[in-house]
Chain A
Amino acid sequence: MYRQAPRLLIRALTGGRRGAPAGRPFSTDVPAAPSEDAAFVEAWRKVAPNIDPPKTPLAFMKPRPPTPSSIPSKLTVNFVLPYQSEISNKEVDMVIVPATTGQMGVLPGHVSTIAELKPGVLSVHEGSEVTKYFVSSGFAFIHANSVTDIVAVEAVPVDHLDQSLVQKGLADFTQKLNSATTDLEKAEAQIGVDVHSALNAALSG
Chain B
Amino acid sequence: MASTTAAVPFWRAAGMTYITYSNICASLVRGCLKDPHRSEAAAREKVHFAISKWANGKPEKPSIRSDLLEQ
A interface list, Cβ under 8 A from B = 2, 5, 8-9, 83, 119, 134, 136-138, 153-154, 156, 160-162, 165-166, 169, 183-184, 186-188, 190-192, 195-196, 199
- The answer to whether A183 and B14 touch across the interface, beta carbons within 8 angstroms, is yes
- The answer to whether A162 and B33 touch across the interface, beta carbons within 8 angstroms, is yes
- The answer to whether B25 and A186 touch across the interface, beta carbons within 8 angstroms, is no
With CB as the reference atom, state the residue of chain A lying closest to B19: A153
With CB as the reference atom, state the residue of chain B lying closest to A9: B1
B39 at interface by CB-CB < 8 Å: no
- The answer to whether B21 and A165 touch across the interface, beta carbons within 8 angstroms, is no
> How many Å from the CB of A23 to the closest CB on chain B?
15
Given contact pairs A156-B37, A191-B24, a sample of 8 additional A-B residue pairs in the complex whose CB atoms are under 8 Å apart: A138-B22, A153-B22, A156-B33, A162-B32, A165-B33, A169-B32, A199-B29, A199-B32
B23 at interface by CB-CB < 8 Å: yes
Contact of A187 among B16, B26, B33, B34 (CB under 8 A): B16
User: Which chain B positions have C-beta within 8 A of A134?
Assistant: 29
Number of interface residues of B (CB under 8 A): 25
> How many Å from the CB of A3 to the closest CB on chain B?
12
- The answer to whether B34 and A160 touch across the interface, beta carbons within 8 angstroms, is yes
- The answer to whether B25 and A119 touch across the interface, beta carbons within 8 angstroms, is yes
Listed A/B pairs (29) with beta-carbon separation below 8 Å = A2-B1, A5-B1, A119-B25, A134-B29, A137-B26, A153-B22, A153-B26, A154-B29, A156-B29, A156-B33, A160-B34, A162-B33, A162-B34, A165-B33, A184-B14, A184-B16, A187-B10, A187-B14, A187-B15, A187-B16, A188-B24, A188-B71, A190-B11, A191-B11, A191-B24, A191-B25, A191-B28, A192-B28, A195-B28
B62 at interface by CB-CB < 8 Å: no
User: Which chain B positions have C-beta within 8 A of A190?
Assistant: 10-11
User: Which chain B positions have C-beta within 8 A of A165?
Assistant: 31-33
A199 vs B30: C-alpha distance when bound (angstroms)? 11
With CB as the reference atom, state the residue of chain A lying closest to B22: A137
- The answer to whether A187 and B11 touch across the interface, beta carbons within 8 angstroms, is yes
User: Which chain B positions have C-beta within 8 A of A162?
Assistant: 32-35
- The answer to whether B32 and A166 touch across the interface, beta carbons within 8 angstroms, is yes
